[in-house]
């Protein structure tokens, strides 16, 4: 059965700065962290030369998006000011815009002022780990800028979220959260919303695997889903080692996410994720 024939039809296009993105087949988003302390050391790119080199590598390997973040959201990460986050981020955005003008840039921030500055510098998408909960101005800013918005589920803050992983029913609570947030965004006129279940954010590994097993049930919301599980503790806590050892497990879990209907894989390792998409598509030709 083709995806278009299923009862619940997801939105499969995004308007990113006048560029129409087609999500009818899964896409890959490459992570570039302009931070000294993100949990996976190889993702840290703290000068423009390394940012440009990483962007070129990821785009060549098939990334449809680049996700830039200048605030580490790993558990217990050090808080930094909006000014410091902006100072880290904008030179990287400007460098990518200059060197790769066709690149689609997502900005990983929960601060409306940082997001707006990056969009004005040439970025296209706002990726908010807090779902608007850490900045009351975020939803209105997204609506005013009319850019795609990645709505993630999280409780607490990066500094407190580990203690917040308590649910009576994790699926029901995440689903209800999305229903309420989607309604609020649509009331403001936001057109392009992508859902992120927030693996590793105020969730234990067991809760994350439960959400993964039921991911397809979010199709009823008729919105694209982004999966961000790359090299996370839910993988290497099960398989052993550290984030450095978690590429194989990441590829395995990304493939499972594809079978569950994810539309975007957010990853540190673009080549491997693109290969997983190609192999999955070859096994499921009627889904594209």
Query: Which CATH number goes with the domain that contains 119?
Result: 3.20.20.20
* The total number of structural domains that make up the chain: 1
Kindly state the tokens that stand for 73: 């959201």
17, part of any domain: no
2, part of any domain: no
Contact 158, 77 (CB under 8 A): yes
Catalytic hit among 88, 231, 232, 233: 232
Catalytic hit among 10, 155, 231, 266: 266
Alpha-carbon distance 235 to 200, whole Å? 10
Coil, helix or strand for 190?
Answer: coil
200, part of any domain: yes
11, part of any domain: no
Its domain, for residue 151, covers 25-287
- Return the pLDDT at 8: 60
Q: What is the pLDDT along the chain (288 residues), one digit of tens a residue?
A: 344 444 567 888 999 988 889 999 999 999 999 987 655 556 667 788 999 999 999 999 999 999 999 998 776 667 889 999 999 999 999 999 999 999 999 999 999 999 999 999 999 999 999 999 999 999 999 999 999 999 999 987 777 777 778 899 999 999 999 999 999 999 999 999 999 999 999 899 999 999 999 999 999 999 999 999 999 999 999 999 999 999 999 999 999 999 999 999 999 999 999 999 999 999 988 765
Q: Which of 95, 108, 194, 81 is nearest to 148 (CA)?
A: 194
- Return the pLDDT at 4: 44
Alpha-carbon distance 71 to 54, whole Å? 18
- Return the pLDDT at 224: 97
The residues near 216 (Cβ < 8 Å, ≥ 6 apart) are: 260, 261
Q: Is the CA virtual torsion 33, 38, 44, 47 positive or negative?
A: positive
Coil, helix or strand for 107?
Answer: strand
Helix axis angle for 48-61 and 82-99, nearest 10°, is 50
18, part of any domain: no
- Return the pLDDT at 285: 82
6, part of any domain: no
For 102, counting Cβ atoms within 10 Å of its Cβ (0-12 exposed, 13-18 middle, 19+ buried), the class is: exposed
Is residue 232 part of the annotated active site? The answer reads yes
- Return the pLDDT at 210: 97
- Return the pLDDT at 39: 56
Q: What is the residue whose two structure tokens read 């101005």?
A: 137
95, part of any domain: yes
- Return the pLDDT at 19: 85
12, part of any domain: no
């Amino acid at each position: 059965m083709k995806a278009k024939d299923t009862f619940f039809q997801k939105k499969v296009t995004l308007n990113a700065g006048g560029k129409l993105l087609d999500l009818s087949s899964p896409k890959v988003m490459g992570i570039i962290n302009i931070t000294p302390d993100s949990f996976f050391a190889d993702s840290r790119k703290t000068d423009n030369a390394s940012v440009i080199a990483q962007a070129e590598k990821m785009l060549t390997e098939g990334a449809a998006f680049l996700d830039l973040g200048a605030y580490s959201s790993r558990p217990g990460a050090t808080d930094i000011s909006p000014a410091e986050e902006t100072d880290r981020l904008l030179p990287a955005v400007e460098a990518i815009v200059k060197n790769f003008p066709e690149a689609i840039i997502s900005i990983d921030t929960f601060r409306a002022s940082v997001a707006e500055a990056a969009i004005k510098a040439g970025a296209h998408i706002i990726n908010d780990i807090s779902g608007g909960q850490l900045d009351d101005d975020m939803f209105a800013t997204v609506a005013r800028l009319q850019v795609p918005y990645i709505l993630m589920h999280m409780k607490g803050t990066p500094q407190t979220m580990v203690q917040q992983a308590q649910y009576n029913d994790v699926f029901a609570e995440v689903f209800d959260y999305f229903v309420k947030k989607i309604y609020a965004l649509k009331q403001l006129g936001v057109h392009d919303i992508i859902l992120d279940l927030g693996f590793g954010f105020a969730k234990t590994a067991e809760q994350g695997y439960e959400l993964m097993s039921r991911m397809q049930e979010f199709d009823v919301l008729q919105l694209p889903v982004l999966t961000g599980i790359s090299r996370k503790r839910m993988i290497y806590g099960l398989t052993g080692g550290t984030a450095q050892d978690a590429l194989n497990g990441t590829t395995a879990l990304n493939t499972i996410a594809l079978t569950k209907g994810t539309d975007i894989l957010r990853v540190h390792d673009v080549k491997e994720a693109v290969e997983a998409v190609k192999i999955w598509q070859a096994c499921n030709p009627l889904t594209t």
